[in-house]
Structure 1
Amino acid sequence: MKVTGAVFDEPAIASEVDGVARERFTADVCKKIDDHNYLIDGQAVDFPVVVAEASMLMNAFLVDAKVAQSMIADSGFQVVELFPGKAILQLLFVDYRKNDLGDYNEGAIIFPVLTPGQKKPFPFFGTLKQMGAGTLGNFVYRMPVDQEYTTHAGRYIWGFPKWVSRVDIEFEAKRATGRFIDEGELVYALAAKAGGTGASKEMRAPSLAIREGKAWKTYGSNSGSGVTFSLGGEMPEIGETHPLAKELRALGLPKKPLFSISIAQTAMRFEGPESAAIGQPFSK
């Protein structure tokens, strides 16, 4: 598969079906019935897709905006600069436990971006205001998961760049950790403080992806309890040889995060997608 760049070449998934090992392609096992109903590997999916119980941790970093933009140049999106020359990178892990798409672990490499036609916010306060209001899109650059079914669903319905890899997540009383290993090589590992008692109100924001020559936009909402927010945080561990790890190093990692967050209990809802030609504005 093409490991780097905004346009993700979906690998086949090696799995055993009826005792026979075979490679399975997403396009062969999925079907769109209508705008509200899909058939994913023999199972019906409709909207909203509901996550009743999950946990997550995330580190946010200030990174070189020119390097970040070069990574997503073929997406049609523009990285948002919190300060001049400094874009935002989010590395996260989610442990889904009760979810319409199954029980699985997920990682993600994400850049907050502007879509075609969006006005550039004022640095810092304008950017923070738009992020808080849920008007900035989160471009999902990569999204490794550890189960096949969610890979097919995430790709086919929302365009997410998913593939099956190793994603380990652990929540302890005071610390949450995650580790993403692909083909035996470390990509990144994170930690965040845990054990907080904060709560987050429901927030709605768009996720963005690129698939089959189109840009995809999906609104999701989430709320949570057991929220722990920390300025700064532990320095992540970044691999040495994997192509994605090399890209993270080119962005300036490993270094301490701008902030870290963990949420012990979170619930989510995902709506149906909207698509547009790459480089063209979305209708809404």
Structure 2
Amino acid sequence: MSNSQHTIAGTVLTMPVRVRKADVHNAMFSVPAEAAQKLIDYSGLQVCQFRPGRAMVNLMLARYIDGDLGKYHEFGTSVMVNPPGSNAHGLKALGDAAAFIHHLPVDQSFTLEAGRTIWGYPKIMAEFKVRDANPFSFEVSEGGSLIAAMEFSRGLPIPSFRHRSQALTSYTSNNGTLREVHSEMTNSGLRMRPAGVRLTLGDHPYAKELASLDLPKRAMLATSVTNVAMVFGDATILS
């Protein structure tokens, strides 16, 4: 990854950007592919149909504890898509798919500016309420309008999943510019639970977009990871 520099709010960031510690809760939903495609048509990308007529959407809460962008909360909506030019489908295609980032509310201004400027992430300022209990739950809102509330049941530990490094690709589209972002992630402390999460949508415009996906109230799979480290390189402009 390059050692280019970006000046954000008077602070010089030297690439790659590092997250030294975070924890993540994620829920995977199977949704109608047609609805998911309509949601992300503006990107020019094609959703990955892992089953005929079905696409994968992830809803994620990340709590960044120590990193170059500071300490903050982030709520992400991503849709699994094929690489540009590919129309692959099936479970094998899902293994080659990447996340297209559609929503990304955060609660700190520095990461908001950095995310928009460096990678084209669709970050907005939002408010978060997090309850560290069993079940774990959170709410994310903007201007008092609820986007989503999620409640995660405690998953089963996956003891063999320790300190694996994984290369990731994601896409963003901002003002007609499509970008590709490469990152590396190392995880430990993984828990999984089938279904495992309850979703409630609010009245925010983002919630209405999520409702258009016909999301089930319970996910296919819920995961939590207690120790996440990440490295982000510069974005590549594709079009």
Same fold, TM-score > 0.5, yes or no = yes
Question: Counterpart amino acid of 1:191?
Answer: E
* 2:147 is the alignment partner of 1:177: no
Q: CA deviation at 1:194?
A: 5.0
C-alpha deviations, 1:254-279, integer Å up to 9, x for none?
A: 421010000111111111110111xx
| Distance across 2 between alignment mates of 1:254 and 1:167 | 23
C-alpha deviations, 1:3-55, integer Å up to 9, x for none?
A: xxxxxxxxxxxxxxxxxxxxxxxxxxxxxxx9711101100111111111110
Determine helix, strand or coil for the equivalent of 1:78: coil
Question: Which position in structure 2 is the counterpart of 1:273?
Answer: 235
| Distance across 1 between alignment mates of 2:188 and 2:39 | 34
Question: Which position in structure 1 is the counterpart of 2:102?
Answer: 141
> CA 1:79–1:197 in 2, change beyond 3 Å: closer, same or farther?
closer
Question: Which position in structure 1 is the counterpart of 2:224?
Answer: 262
Determine helix, strand or coil for the equivalent of 1:160: coil
* 2:86 is the alignment partner of 1:118: yes
* 2:37 is the alignment partner of 1:77: no
Question: Counterpart amino acid of 1:218?
Answer: V
Moved more, 265-274 or 142-151: 265-274
C-alpha deviations, 1:157-188, integer Å up to 9, x for none?
A: 0000001111233444x543222112212111
**Contact 1:56–1:93, Cα closer than 8 Å, also in 2:** yes
Structure 1 length normalisation: TM-score?
Answer: 0.78
Q: CA deviation at 1:141?
A: 0.1
* 2:193 is the alignment partner of 1:230: yes
**Contact 1:76–1:115, Cα closer than 8 Å, also in 2:** no
C-alpha deviations, 1:171-217, integer Å up to 9, x for none?
A: 44x54322211221211122322573633411111111012321111
Question: Counterpart amino acid of 2:227?
Answer: Q
| Distance across 2 between alignment mates of 1:185 and 1:253 | 20
Moved more, 74-83 or 145-154: 74-83
| Distance across 2 between alignment mates of 1:181 and 1:206 | 28
Structure 1: tracts of 5 or more residues without a match = 1-33, 278-284
* 2:175 is the alignment partner of 1:208: no
| Distance across 2 between alignment mates of 1:75 and 1:43 | 31
C-alpha deviations, 1:81-114, integer Å up to 9, x for none?
A: 1211111110000000101000000000000101
| Distance across 1 between alignment mates of 2:227 and 2:132 | 11
Question: Counterpart amino acid of 2:148?
Answer: Y
Report percent identity of matched pairs: 29
* 2:204 is the alignment partner of 1:242: yes
| Distance across 2 between alignment mates of 1:50 and 1:43 | 15
- RMSD between aligned alpha carbons? 1.8
Determine helix, strand or coil for the equivalent of 1:235: strand
Question: Which position in structure 1 is the counterpart of 2:63?
Answer: 95
Structure 2: tracts of 5 or more residues without a match = none
The correspondence of residues 44-55 of structure 1 with structure 2, limited to 5 A, is: 44-55=12-23
Determine helix, strand or coil for the equivalent of 2:75: strand
Determine helix, strand or coil for the equivalent of 1:169: strand
| Distance across 2 between alignment mates of 1:167 and 1:86 | 30
Q: CA deviation at 1:246?
A: 1.5
Question: Counterpart amino acid of 1:74?
Answer: Y
